[in-house]
């Protein structure tokens, strides 16, 4: 279990995101067991129902699966599933608003792409 909880979003969403982060970083491999509801509840001093809600969200997304009576395990292809989920969220949360703001400023597609390319170039030098 890695990370700390904050007041920025719902706790069960933070639990799910931390587990996703751990899957992406290779802390939990495919077919490996993740911490149980009770372990998460103890580790983060939260209600077990809240921890379960975070785990169940990952089950619903196909990132984890349940082995009855044993626990939760990382699904095959979970890392790629997390990446695809986050790419879609990045598109909806950042790219679409960027394009919308660009349109309101009457930027052409070429101007917007040039700005993005410039930002990428600047990011490589920092």
Q: Quick check: is 71 in a domain?
A: yes
Phi and psi, residue 71, nearest 5°: 150, -160
pLDDT for res 9: 84
How far is the C-alpha of 59 from the C-alpha of 52, rounded, in Å?
A: 10
Based on the domain organization, do 59 and 89 belong to the same domain? no
Contact 82, 40 (CB under 8 A): no
- H/E stretch holding 91 reads none
Is residue 64 within 8 Å of residue 24, measured between CB atoms?
Answer: no
Q: Identify whether residues 83 and 57 lie together within a single domain.
A: no
Q: Are residues 67 and 41 in the same domain?
A: yes
- The Cα–Cα gap between 54 and 44 comes to 13
Inform me whether the pLDDT recorded for 118 exceeds 90. Answer: yes
- Measured CA to CA, the distance from residue 112 to residue 25 in angstroms comes to 32
Token pair, residue 97, equals 């608003």
Residues 6+ apart with CB under 8 A from 57: 12, 13, 16
Mean pLDDT (whole number) for 27-49? 95
Q: Say yes or no: 34 and 18 in one domain.
A: yes
- For residues 45 and 37, is the Cβ–Cβ distance under 8 A? no
Residues 95 and 49 in one domain: no
User: For position 87, what pLDDT does the model report?
Assistant: 97
Average pLDDT estimate for 97-104:
96
My answer on whether 15 and 66 are in the same domain is yes
Q: Please indicate, yes or no, whether residues 63 and 47 belong to a single structural domain of this protein.
A: yes
Q: Are residues 68 and 104 in the same domain?
A: no
CATH code, domain carrying 40: 1.10.10.10
Q: Where are the alpha helices (DSSP H) in 27-106?
A: 37-44, 48-60, 78-90, 96-104
Domain count, the chain: 2
Mean pLDDT over the full length of the chain: 93
| 126: pLDDT strictly greater than 70 | no
Judge whether 94 lies within some domain. Answer: yes
Residue 109 in any domain: the answer is yes
Does residue 114 sit within a domain?
yes
Q: Residue 87's domain spans which residues?
A: 79-125
Domain end, chosen from 76, 95, 115, is at: 76
Percent of residues, the chain, with pLDDT higher than 90? 90
């Amino acid at each position: 279990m890695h990370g700390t909880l904050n007041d920025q979003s719902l706790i069960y969403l933070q639990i799910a995101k931390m587990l996703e982060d751990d899957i992406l970083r290779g802390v939990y491999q495919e077919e490996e067991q993740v911490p149980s509801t009770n372990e998460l509840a103890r580790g983060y001093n939260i209600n077990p129902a809240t921890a379960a809600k975070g785990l169940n969200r990952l089950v619903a997304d196909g990132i984890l699966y349940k082995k009855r009576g044993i626990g939760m395990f990382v699904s095959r292809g979970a890392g790629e599933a997390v990446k695809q989920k986050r790419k879609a969220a990045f598109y909806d949360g950042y790219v679409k608003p960027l394009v919308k703001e660009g349109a309101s400023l009457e930027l052409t597609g070429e101007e917007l792409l040039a700005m993005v390319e410039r930002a990428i170039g600047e990011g490589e030098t920092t």
